[in-house]
Amino acid sequence: MYVCALTVGLRRGELLGLAWSDIDFDASTLTVRQTVQRAEGRLQLVAPKTERSRRTVPVPAQTLALFRAHRRQQAADRLAAGERWQDHGLVFPSKVGTPMDPDHIDRTWHKIRAAAGLDWLRLHDLRHACATFLLVSGASPRTVMKVLGHSQIGLTMNTYAHVLPEIERAAVDEAAKHLFG
The C-alpha atoms of residue 88 and residue 96 are separated, in whole angstroms, by 10
Q: For each of the chain's 181 residues, which pLDDT tens digit applies?
A: 999 999 999 999 999 999 999 999 999 999 999 999 998 889 999 999 888 899 999 999 999 999 999 999 999 999 999 999 999 999 999 999 999 999 999 999 999 999 999 999 999 989 988 988 888 888 888 898 899 998 777 666 666 666 666 666 776 787 888 888 7
The C-alpha atoms of residue 167 and residue 97 are separated, in whole angstroms, by 43
| pTM exceeds 0.95 for this model | no
The C-alpha atoms of residue 149 and residue 153 are separated, in whole angstroms, by 10
Whole-number pLDDT of residue 158: 64
